[in-house]
Amino acid sequence: MLTNAKAKLKGSALLSLLLIMVTVTACNDNNSGSTASNANSSPKTSASDNATANASTSESKAATTPNGPTGKYDPPIELTTVRSVNSAAELPPGDSLDSNIWVKTFKDELGINLKNLWKVNDAQYQNKIAVTMASGDMPDFMEVDAQQFQILVEAGTIADLTDSYAKYASDLTKGSMEVNNGLRLKAATMNGKLMGIPVDGGDITDTELIYIRKDWLANVGLQPPKTMEDVINIALAFTKNDPDKNGKNDTYGLSLDLNLFNGWSGLDGFFNGYHAYPFNPTKGSATTLNFMKGPDGKVQWADTQPEVKTALGKLADLFKQGAIYPEFSVIDGMKSAELVTSGKVGMTFGAFWVPTWPINNMYKDVPGADWGIYPLVSSDDKPALSQSMTGLPSRFYVVSKKAEHPEAPILLLNTYIEKLYGHFDKNYHTVTVDGKDFGVFGLSPVRGGMPGNNPKAAAAVQAAKQSGDTSALNDEQKQYYDQVAKFEAGDKSMWAANKLWAADGVFSLLGQYSDNNLVFQSAYVGNPTTTMIAKCPSLRDEEVKMITSIIMGSKPLDYFDEWAANWLKSGGQDILDEVNASGQVR
């Protein structure tokens, strides 16, 4: 029985057991009384807190707290947090998460002494956060995911940041938070109160583009696609007309693997071409759904719309004609990447990072191979919208209710954004020691993107290239400019960088997407509902099976209707009702 029990730990039980052990410890803490537990767990903190408290009562006039986005705490305050360590990241010599340029800057410029209560490998961060949440011994602020965020809000252990944000966030910080009609902030707002600071979101970094082997296009005598019809013709020509000129019928037109919805070898872009916006990843959380408003003003699920069926029909036809690898349903992204890099497949839909992986070395290593990058095309006269799920944040900073200075993390964020996006200072981004580059931007305990930064940089690089004047470029942009220049001077290893920043590169195309409003985002901005969490994993499996079997021809196309009706019956209608009633529909 014992060994049996141990064997079973492997899958299901492990996490639950871990949580239990933790909870038991946590309860002990609670039983011994909250004051005692505080004193036990961090005697140093409380001692210094007392000192600060004493100081502020006795010399309250001398102590200053900033009363706006800038300013400094005097005397300095201590701010606790917790960190995850990226196991792959190398730190510059002498730096650590406890002591680095950010920590020093925060201390010097803001009077904030950062203290990391613990640091773990990023793989363990989720578990350790669950432990921290269970123990109730939260740091002043920490980073959590969407689900943990919701739990913390319900448990009432985190601070309302509405006033702090209004008073302390700098214009630049507010600008980054309020892009896209404030969608980022909306996702962090519960019952009208701002409960967290979004880490990500607001950008469209998962929108897809079409990647096609240019040398193959020339070999089969075709032009880059203007419509979905062209895409299908190219895929068929790549399959049947021997695009690699080796005299063998050994190539496929469109790359696809079992993940179906993916930034590489995915189908998102293909569906978008037919104005269909399904999204339900094979791996990971099944609760990310795309919703759209129907003609009656009510929300509908994007995946059950008739446009999806149209696109599925085209895919089934492509598969039948041999344009898709016959074993796509059992290969993963690594394997589909192998097929492409070994010259078996000539076209894929993918995100902006595809030039950096997996096709990054093909230009250098495979004679004649060159990839062209094209924006999504449409099946009719309406332009194709590229779907994006990253407009909504998935991670948040939350501040403990017990924190004495709930506004302090916002001040940190102001400084971070100022150093990296306001007046770019390379020392805060990347430092070079002995010819080796180290990214130091990730050492900051708060991070925040500036949505649209990369397309902006690409535009600046191209403007500088045209005018020949690089004086307007900041250090970051100058770096990209140099990479493009190196590629043009014949350095083939700079191919990927060139594809990122050049005029026909991915960031220019992403910039066009957002400039021309060619992005589709879900109408629902709330968190996963109860039924989503309970039903989505098994509903997702059904959908993936449906799509796979229709493409492979083992089920007729009309099976789509049967599946869509079944989805509504087995929980889908409840999900729609919840979403419609949530009040978080745009």
Which spans of this chain sit near other proteins (rule: CB under 8 A)?
Answer: 1-2, 4-8, 10-13, 15-17, 19-21, 23-24, 26-27, 130, 133-134, 136, 147, 151-152, 154-155, 157, 258, 282, 284-287, 326-327, 329-331, 335, 533-534, 536-538, 541, 544-545, 548-549, 552, 554, 570
If the CB atoms of residues 143 and 215 are measured against other proteins, the closer one turns out to be 143
Q: Smallest gap, in angstroms, from Cβ of residue 240 to other proteins?
A: 17
Residue placing its CB nearer to other proteins in the complex, 340 or 461: 340
Nearer to other proteins, 326 or 367 (CB): 326
Long-range own/partner contacts, residues 68-75 (CB < 8 A, 24 or more apart)? 68/167, 68/168, 69/168, 69/169, 69/170, 69/171, 69/173, 69/411, 69/414, 70/170, 70/414, 71/110, 72/109, 72/110, 72/111, 73/110, 73/111, 73/112, 73/405, 73/408, 74/111, 75/111
Whole-angstrom distance, CA of residue 140 vs CA of residue 80? 5
Using the minimum distance from each CB to other proteins, give the nearer residue, 47 or 334: 334
Using alpha carbons, select from 507, 202, 516 the residue that is nearest to residue 373: 507
Q: Which amino acid would we find at residue 242?
A: D
Complete edge-to-edge strand list for the sheet that includes strand 371-374: 347-350, 209-213, 371-374
Q: Tokens standing for 460?
A: 């600046």
- Residue 125 CB, nearest approach to other proteins (Å): 14
Nearest CA among 563, 576, 564 for reference residue 524: 576
Q: Shortest Cβ distance from residue 7 to other proteins (Å)?
A: 6
Nearest approach, Cβ of residue 337 and other proteins (Å): 14
| Closest approach of other proteins to the CB of residue 346, in Å | 18
Cβ closest to other proteins, residue 157 vs residue 474? 157
Minimal distance in Å, beta carbon 163 to other proteins? 24
- 83 pairs with which residues across the strands? 119
- Nearest distance from residue 331's CB to other proteins, in Å? 7
Q: How far is the CB of 165 from other proteins (least distance, A)?
A: 23
Q: Which is nearer to other proteins, 266 or 452 (CB)?
A: 266
DSSP state of 304: G
The residue (of 207 and 329) whose beta carbon lies closer to other proteins is 329
CB-based contacts of 352: which residues, under 8 Å, 6+ apart? 205, 207, 209, 454, 500, 506, 507, 510
End-to-end CA distance of the chain: 54
CB neighbour class for 466 (10 Å; exposed up to 12, middle 13-18, buried from 19): exposed
Closest CA to 579 of 359, 291, 341: 291
Nearer to other proteins, 270 or 363 (CB): 270
Q: Smaller CB distance to other proteins: residue 330 or 489?
A: 330
Backbone torsion region of residue 275, taken as left when φ is above 0, otherwise alpha when ψ lies between -120 and 50, otherwise beta: left
Nearer to other proteins, 341 or 453 (CB): 341
Contact at 8 Å (CB) between 396 and 161? no
Question: DSSP readout, 487-531?
Answer: HHTT-GGGHHHHHHHSTTSHHHHHHHHHHTT-EEE-SB-SPPPHH
Q: Provide the minimum distance between the beta carbon of 172 and other proteins in the complex, in angstroms, as a whole number.
A: 33
Q: What is the dihedral of CA 44, 48, 50, 51, to 10 degrees?
A: 140
User: Of 477 and 548, which CB lies nearer to other proteins in the complex structure?
Assistant: 548
- Whose tokens are 């495979």? That residue is 366
Shortest approach of other proteins to residue 157 CB, angstroms? 7
How many whole angstroms separate alpha carbon 503 and alpha carbon 459? 8
Shortest gap between Cβ of 71 and other proteins (angstroms)? 34
Nearest CB to other proteins, comparing residues 43 and 537: 537
Query: 308: burial class by Cβ within 10 Å (0-12, 13-18, 19+)?
Result: buried
CB of 145 to other proteins, least distance (A): 10
CB contact at 8 A, 462 and 504: no
